[in-house]
Every structure is written in structure tokens, then in C-alpha cells.
Structure 1
Amino acid sequence: MIELSLIGMGMGNPDHITRQGVAALNAADLILVPRKGADKADLADVRSQLCKELLTNPATRMVPFDMPVRDSADPDYQGGVNRWHDAIALLWLAAIKTHLPQGGRLALLVWGDPSLYDSTLRIAARLGQQLPLRVSVVPGITALQALTAAHAMALNEINAPVVITTGRHLRDHGWPPQASTVAVMLDGQCSFQHMSPEGITIWWGAYLGMPQQICISGPLAEVSGQILAQREAARAAHGWIMDTYLLRKSSVSIN
């Protein structure tokens, strides 16, 4: 039996991991640390540094593995993502057979929270088809919590709906009907730049809760260019960027 703990690590700040998460890390026999290539080495370094700061159990081992690269040009988006998840599950399985052949406790740190726009649970479900598996989730600080905290704002307006969506969906389908506020996740293409900015305010943040945190807010028409420039510069400087944003459209009727 493999007992798999998926631990929300917030935005990478050790203070974003709950006491329950710290306990789950220290209870693990093995922690898998994904690597995404030399240009994103900082991502693995953040996980490794978190473990070094929070681990007190000398028996817990950290083992890196190289993440497969998803073909972003694949016209079959859904199928491409599923094939990518299949490949990741096989790497997990290989690591388990090598390092936990008799079973044990496995942990993975998940950016933000495993339950919100993350596929780790879907990958774990594939693993469960190959071996006896029990999965537990330790929630962490989500990107949306970190974003609203950084801007000292509430997620919603009074009695108004919020839609959480992806950049791809916003780009392909436009503003969600009846939404007063739109929270956008997984948007590497900055889809807000393809919208008519009239009446829209944006609250954008990157590296939330980290020393390199960047926050920009204001009318979309006025700050869109600034966000694009700062995002490009930060990505070049660090080799990676994780960002998210809220859009609020004052002219939306919710009646």
C-alpha cells in the first residue's frame, strides 16, 4: 500500500504551508521533487528549499524526477493533456518501484492547492489503477487567496457572482455571462490583452507571497501594457513566472 499525501505549498513561501502540511511532510518516507528543465530549475529549488526548512525527520528522503514536456502545439488539447498526465503517472510509478518497493508513505508538494486548477489528483487516479493507493489531500494557500490578500481586497462584490476560469477559456469564449468578477488561472498568454478593456479593472500578481512579488492593479486600458512588460522582464530574470489575476467589469448586470 502506498499512502500518498498531496500537500498544498501555496506560492512557495514556507509560511503558506499549514501545520498539517508540515506534519505530512515529516511523516513521509519519500518526497518526489519534479524538475522541469534547466531554464526552470528555480521551481525545483523552491520545493527543495521548503523541504530543507520544514523537514525534521532525517529518515525522509527527497528524490527528484524529470517532468515530461507537454506538446503545447498539439491541436488536440484535451488529448495532449491526458497523454502528458499518463507520462507523469508512469514516472511516479517508476520512482515508487525503485524507492518504495515494499510500500510506504509518499508526498508531493503542490503549488497553490491540489483542489483548485491542478491536475495532481487526476494523475494520482491513474496511479491508483496500477497499485494499492490511498490518497490524502492537505489544503494550502490558493493563488486566489494570495492574490486578494496582496491587493487587500475581497474576491467578490456584495451579492455578486464570481467565475473562476482559464486564460484559454476567456480568450476563446469571452466574458462569462452574469459574472461580476472573473478570476483567471493558468494564463501564460495574458488573455486580457485580447479583450475590450472598457469598464474593466484588473488586479494582477506574480510570485505572490515571495520576496520577488509583483502586484499591479488599475483600469485594464491603463495598466495592460505595464503588466505585459513587467511579466516579460520577470520571466527573463527568473526563468519562470507564476501569476494570476482578477477582472471586474463594472457594467455587468447581475439582475
Structure 2
Amino acid sequence: MIALQLIGIGTGNPDHLTGEAIRALNQADLVLLPRKDNAADLADLRRTICAAVLTRPVPLAEFDMPVRAGEGDYVAAVHDWHDAIAAAWRAAIDAHLPGGGTVALLVWGDPSLYDSTLRIAARLPDTVVRVVPGITSIQALTAAHAIPLNPLAGSVTITTGRRLRAAGWPRGAEVLVVMLDGCCGFQSLDPAGMSIWWGAYLGMPHQALDAGPLAEAGPRIVETRTALRARHGWIMDVYLLRKDQG
């Protein structure tokens, strides 16, 4: 039997880990560390977190992260990708913990918010899953800009860049938080009367922020994002959009 602990680690800053997350890591028999092409920094960050908070020797098992197919039906490609990731987890666990035990997997942000780790974990038989919540990129974004998430007595809509490009501004939305946007989907919107608060690598030493009227800040963000991705080989960013009150 495998006890799989999905541990939210915020945006990569060891200070973002909760006390519960630190205890869970130290109780593990094995920590899984995915490796991604062109994103060695992500694996290094996970190792840095482990080195900062582990108070006992816990084995670290690295595995190569499968790549999602970029063509064909998107939903089918994601399901196939999740199957491949689950198989990679199982292979690493069987190789390093054949008798079973407690396995920890570090998850960026919080496992409940626009993350597929729980759906992948459901593919593993004979596995009990425990979630340790973490700081989300949304919390880190609003803290970095020192802004409230919601308008007074108002609502917040959370969506993805793919949905924003496909459907535009959601009907009835007052404030929009956009995640998983690799193409700066805000460019598809009419920027008139709209403001943006953007952040990348939140909580890390190379954190980048920008904010202002979308018509002015949007082009800057596109340029900055392109340069940062080229420099680091990867980027994690999120932004908040708000229509100005007339």
C-alpha cells in the first residue's frame, strides 16, 4: 500500500511551506522529484526546498516527466499525458519503495487549484491520497501587489488563458484571475477601461511584477514575459484583470 502525500509548496520559496507541509515531508519514506526538459531550475528548486526543511535523511527519487502531445484533440492528449505521468510515478515508486510506504510529491501552489495532480493520483491503484494545502499563486500575486482579490461585496472569477482566448471576458465577471496562460490571452480583449496586475516567479529572487492600465501595461508584459522565458527556459505567471468602475 502506498500513502501518497501531495504537498503544496507555494511558488518555490521555502518560506511558503506551512508547518504541516514540513512535517509531512519529514514523515515521508520517499520524495518524488520530476525532471523536465529545459526546466532544470524547477527540479533544483524542489531540491532546495527539501534541503531547507528536511531534518532527517529522506531518499529523493528523480524521474523524467512525460511530455504532452501538442497536436490533435486537446482533451484526449491530456488524458494520455496523465496516464503516462501516473505510469512514471508508479515506476519510480516501485523502483525505490517496492515494499510500500509514504511518498511525498511537491506540488506548485495548491493541489486543488488548476492542477492535475489529484486526477493523476486517482489513476494509481492501492494508493491512499492525502493533500497538504499550499499557498496559491493568486495569494502570492495579490500580496506582491498589496491589493485585495475581490471588489467590495463582489465576486472573483478564476479561469485559464485558453478559456479567455476562446470565450472572451466571462459574462457577469467583475474581477478575473487568469492562470496557465502561455500566450498572454489578455491581448484578445478590448483594453479600454481595464487594469491588470501581473506577476511571474512570485516569491522567488527573480520575481517580476507589472501593473497598470491594460492598454499601457499589456505590451510591456508581453515583452518582459518573452525575455524572462528566454532567460530562464521556463516561466510561471498569473495575472488579475479588473474593469475600471465607471
1:223 paired residue among 213, 217, 220: 217
Give, as a single letter, the amino acid of the residue that structure 1 aligns with 2:5. Answer: S
Q: Which amino acid aligns with 2:50?
A: C
Q: Secondary structure at the match of 2:51?
A: helix
Q: What's the CA shift for 1:75?
A: 3.0
The equivalent of 2:208 in structure 1 is 214
Matched letter for residue 128 of structure 2? R
Say which SS state the counterpart of residue 123 (structure 2) adopts: helix
- Other-structure match for 2:18: 18
1:90-101 equivalent positions in 2, closer than 5 A: 90-101=87-98
* C-alpha distance in structure 2 between counterparts of 1:166 and 1:202, whole Å: 15
For the 8 Å contact 2:196–2:241, the answer to whether it is kept is: yes
Q: Does 1:197 align with 2:191?
A: yes
Q: Where does residue 52 of structure 2 map in the other structure?
A: 53
Q: 1:213 offset after TM fit, Å?
A: 0.6
CA distance in structure 2 between the aligned counterparts of 1:166 and 1:138, rounded to whole angstroms:
24
Q: How far 1:100 moved relative to its partner? A: 1.3
Q: Does residue 1:153 correspond to 2:147, yes or no?
A: yes
Q: 1:87 maps to which residue?
A: 84
Counterpart residue number, 1:43: 42
Paired residue for 2:181? Answer: 187
Corresponding position of 1:67: 65
- State the AA in 2 paired with 1:109: L
CA contact (8 A) 1:167 1:187 kept: yes
Q: Deviations over 1:30-71 (max 9, x none)?
A: 00000001x21111111011111111111x100110001111
The offset of 1:111, in angstroms, is 0.3
User: Which 10-residue stretch deviates more, 228-237 or 173-182?
Assistant: 228-237
Cα shift at 1:250: 2.4
C-alpha distance in 2 between matches for 1:75 and 1:98: 33
Letter in 2 for 1:33: L
Residue matched to 2:29: 29
Question: Which blocks of at least 5 consecutive residues in structure 1 are unaligned?
Answer: none
* CA distance, structure 2, for counterparts of residue 182 and residue 224 of structure 1: 15
Runs of 4+ in 1 over 3 A off after TM superposition: none
- Alpha-carbon distance in 1 for matches of 2:121, 2:9: 17
Matched, 1:102 2:99: yes
Contact 2:168–2:188 (CA under 8 A) maintained in structure 1:
no
Opposite residue 6 of structure 2, the aligned amino acid is: L
Shift of 1:251: 5.5
Distance 1:250 1:78 in 2: 35
User: What is aligned with 1:117?
Assistant: 114
Q: What code does the residue aligned with 2:51 have?
A: K
What secondary structure sits across from 2:122 in the alignment? helix
Q: Does 1:244 align with 2:238?
A: yes
- Tell me the equivalent position of 2:228: 234
Indicate the RMSD between aligned Cα atoms, in angstroms. Answer: 1.0
Question: Does structure 2 retain, via aligned residues, the 8 Å contact 1:35–1:44?
Answer: yes
